[in-house]
């Protein structure tokens, strides 16, 4: 059986083997009442910023779960961060994209209010929408047993996304706009070059939580920002503005994918190119 993973932000900062960590609240209730964990079972606790503590359940109650820690590891942040700017979409397709992207290893997601987005976040919907995305990301990170929980960044308008694209390109990163009329294949797009990594354009062999986002950004890792439009596609004006900011329009493949699948498909290709998948 796969070892269950639970989020324990704030509880693992000084944890060492031999310590006992007690989960409370929603995570403990999920462990005890949904997963029905019992004393003697093995689980992992993660802080969302790369720290993983494994151990054995010593006590389980409705609102508390105690774990005797026997191993602590810190997973390094990736040398190149993958960020998905996902256009808001109707029918939950944007959340589907974010869920699958998290399982595939995305490091941060940006809700994008694109010109053709049918779904619109305004007023109180902005906070609620971001909270929903954060819940989707956390659940997907736990399901895929990740020690890093992707950050859900501030929702962006098109002008804000263009500014972010310019900053990413200026910092040595890459901005890739998925577009069916692009002529450059995603497999040939220019990617950041990092120390110890193979040159851009070759197969790789190198190796949100808000706290995780801050730690990763502090390390200065370049980013690859993948921009995915809504159901109606990205407008010519949006593509032109992003190109002016330094973005590369790229072609994912011979078929036009849904907004819920285009981003994850691109991330899978990039994960392979960057050496994440061996």
Number of residues in the chain: 278
Helices 259-273, 93-104: axis angle to 10 degrees equals 10
For residues 162-172, give the mean pLDDT.
Answer: 97
Average predicted confidence (pLDDT) for the chain: 90
For residues 239-244, give the mean pLDDT.
Answer: 97
- Which candidate, 167, 145, 153, 72, places its Cα nearest to that of 107? 153
Q: 3-29 pLDDT, tens per residue? A: 899 999 899 999 999 999 999 988 898
- Which candidate, 46, 3, 24, places its Cα nearest to that of 208? 46
- Cα(2)–Cα(20) distance, rounded to whole angstroms? 22
How confident is residue 208, by pLDDT bands cut at 50, 70 and 90? very low
Q: Is residue 241 a contact partner of residue 75, using CB atoms and an 8 Å limit?
A: no
How confident is residue 1, by pLDDT bands cut at 50, 70 and 90? low
Domains of the chain and CATH, by start: 4-74 (2.40.240.20), 81-273 (3.40.1280.10)
- Which candidate, 109, 119, 67, 121, places its Cα nearest to that of 84? 109
How confident is residue 214, by pLDDT bands cut at 50, 70 and 90? low
Per-residue model confidence (pLDDT) at position 196: 47
For residues 49-67, give the mean pLDDT.
Answer: 94
- pTM recorded for the entire structure: 0.88
């Amino acid at each position: 059986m796969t070892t269950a993973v639970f989020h324990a932000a704030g509880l693992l900062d000084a944890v060492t083997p031999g310590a006992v960590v007690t989960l409370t609240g929603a995570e403990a209730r999920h462990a005890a009442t949904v997963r029905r964990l019992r004393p003697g079972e093995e689980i992992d606790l993660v802080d969302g910023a790369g720290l993983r503590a494994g151990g054995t359940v010593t006590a389980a109650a409705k609102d508390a779960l105690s774990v005797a820690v026997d191993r602590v590891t810190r997973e390094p942040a990736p040398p190149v961060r993958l960020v998905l700017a996902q256009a808001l979409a109707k029918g939950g397709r944007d959340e589907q994209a974010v869920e699958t992207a998290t399982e595939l290893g995305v490091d941060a997601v940006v809700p994008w209010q694109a010109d053709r987005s049918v779904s619109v976040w305004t007023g109180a919907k902005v906070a609620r929408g971001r909270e929903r995305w954060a819940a989707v990301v956390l659940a997907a990170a736990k399901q895929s047993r990740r020690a890093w929980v992707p950050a859900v960044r501030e929702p962006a308008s098109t002008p804000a996304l263009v500014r972010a694209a310019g900053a990413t390109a200026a910092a040595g990163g890459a901005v890739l706009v998925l577009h069916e009329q692009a002529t450059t294949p995603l497999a040939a797009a220019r990617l950041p070059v990092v120390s110890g990594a193979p040159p851009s354009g070759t197969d790789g062999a190198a190796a949100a939580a808000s706290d995780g986002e801050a730690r990763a950004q502090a390390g200065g890792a370049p980013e690859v920002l993948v921009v995915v439009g809504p159901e109606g596609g990205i407008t010519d004006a949006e593509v032109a503005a992003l190109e002016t900011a330094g973005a590369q329009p790229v072609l994912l493949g011979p078929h036009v994918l849904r907004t819920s699948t285009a981003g994850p498909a691109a991330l899978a290709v990039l994960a392979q190119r960057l050496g994440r998948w061996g």
